[in-house]
Amino acid sequence: MKEIVVISGKGGTGKTSVTASFAVLGEKDLVVADCDVDAADMHVFLDPDYREKHDFYSGELAQIDPETCIQCGKCAEVCRFNAIDIVNGSHHVKELDCEGCGYCARVCPVNAIKNIRNHVGYWYRSRIKTGAGMIHARMKVGAENSGKLVAKVKQEAAKLAESTNKKYVLVDGSPGIGCPVISSLSGAAYAVLVTEPTLSGLHDLERVYSVVERFRIPAGCIINKADLNIRNRDKIREFLKDKAIDLLAELPYDLRISTLMVGGRTMVEDPAIESGAMLGKSWNYILNRLKMN
Ligand code: SF4
Ligand code: SF4
């Protein structure tokens, strides 16, 4: 089983639309992993059935038993994260501020505080509209540690691919270059970098490629809306040539794609969309390249 990871140095480049198109092209030969857990939106295109829902915990959180608490205030005094508040005369832990260090529990004179597992979100196992399996997730608002949830999604996707004899896991990675992206990239056989012809697009492509290069992952690039700025497109082309990155496709700006997306369809589902055919060629190129490795 090989992993193909689609990433971008920033949000809004069209990464998810490209990944969803690849997911449709891959039909039932793959498992899809939506690792953009902080802003998951592959479900908009792929219509998952949410057949299994699982809790996800990360780290710990202090919890005060109001029956035992004598309101002495010692816990609030020692908490350096100001995570303990007084509401209507009672001490409460502010979940979003608590780091789960456990110090408050040590100073509590009546053992009213215990640490509980921190519930930060859910992960799902679904079947999508092509019949393929998909693992996806959702973080709770303000929750941290999305890198760990990304690792969980990838692990479950790999398990599903192994148990159902699929050759590929297609991963929609997080934008940026932080912990969730690094987690998305670990173990990848090929990275697809999606960018746009702007100076920030080039800058973020350079940043995200520095991570891919460090992992020594072969990479290809898709320039979305390539015809919007020819000068910046040419600068991206130069960068790709210099770094020996495959130029997979230059997708033209096409307003019809927005209409398709609003209807929950991908670029490859309308034969009139030129970008769909280009992505079809890119997908075949990637699969052939992986067969050779
Ligand atoms: S566990 Fe640590 S961070 Fe959380 S409330 Fe207690 S002292 Fe503060
Ligand atoms: S230290 Fe214990 S008893 Fe005192 S306010 Fe905090 S939870 Fe209540």
**Which DSSP letter does residue 228 get?**
G
Give residue 174's pLDDT: 78
Ligand 2 centroid – CA 90 distance (Å): 9
Q: How far apart are CA 206 and CA 240, in angstroms?
A: 10
Q: Give me the mean pLDDT over the 94-119 stretch.
A: 95
Model-wide pTM > 0.85: yes
Rounded mean pLDDT of the chain? 92
Which of 26-30, 38-42, 161-165, 214-218 has the least mean pLDDT?
A: 38-42
Which residue reads 């055919």 in tokens? 277
pLDDT digit string, tens, across residues 32-83: 999 888 778 899 999 999 999 999 998 899 999 999 999 999 999 999 999 9
Does ligand 2 lie within 6 Å of residue 105's CB atom? no
Alpha helix segments (H runs only) across 8-62: 15-25, 43-46
Q: Is 156 exposed, middle or buried (0-12, 13-18, 19+ CB in 10 A)?
A: buried
Does position 12 have pLDDT exceeding 90, yes or no?
no
Span from the CA of 106 to the centroid of ligand 2 (angstroms): 10
Atom of ligand 2 nearest to the CA of 71: 5
> pLDDT confidence of 142, banded at 50, 70, 90?
confident
CA 205 – CA 8 distance, rounded (Å): 7
φ, ψ at 174 (rounded to 5°): -80, 155
Six token digits for residue 96: 């979003």
Whole-number pLDDT of residue 104: 97
50 C-alpha vs ligand 1 centroid, how far in Å?
35
Structure token digits, residue 272: 């009139």
Both tokens of residue 1?
């089983």
Distance of CA 280 to the CA centre of its chain: 23
The rounded percent of the chain whose pLDDT value lies above 70 is 99
Say whether 271 sits in a helix, a strand or coil: coil
Task: Choose the residue to mutate in 80, 95, 104 for probing ligand 1, maximizing ligand atoms within 8 Å of C-beta.
Answer: 104
Q: To the nearest whole percent, how much of the chain has pLDDT over 90?
A: 79
Q: How far is the CA of 80 from the centre of ligand 1 (A)?
A: 8
**Rounded-to-integer distance, Cα 230 and Cα 226, Å:** 7
- Alpha carbon dihedral 280, 285, 291, 293, in 10-degree steps, equals -140
Q: Choose the weakest-confidence range: 133-137, 185-189, 233-237, 253-257.
A: 185-189
* Domains in the chain with CATH codes: 2-47+128-292 (3.40.50.300), 59-119 (3.30.70.20)
Looking from the CA of residue 100, the nearest atom of ligand 1 is 1
Question: In which region does residue 44 sit, left (phi positive, over 0), alpha (psi from -120 to 50) or beta (all else)?
Answer: alpha
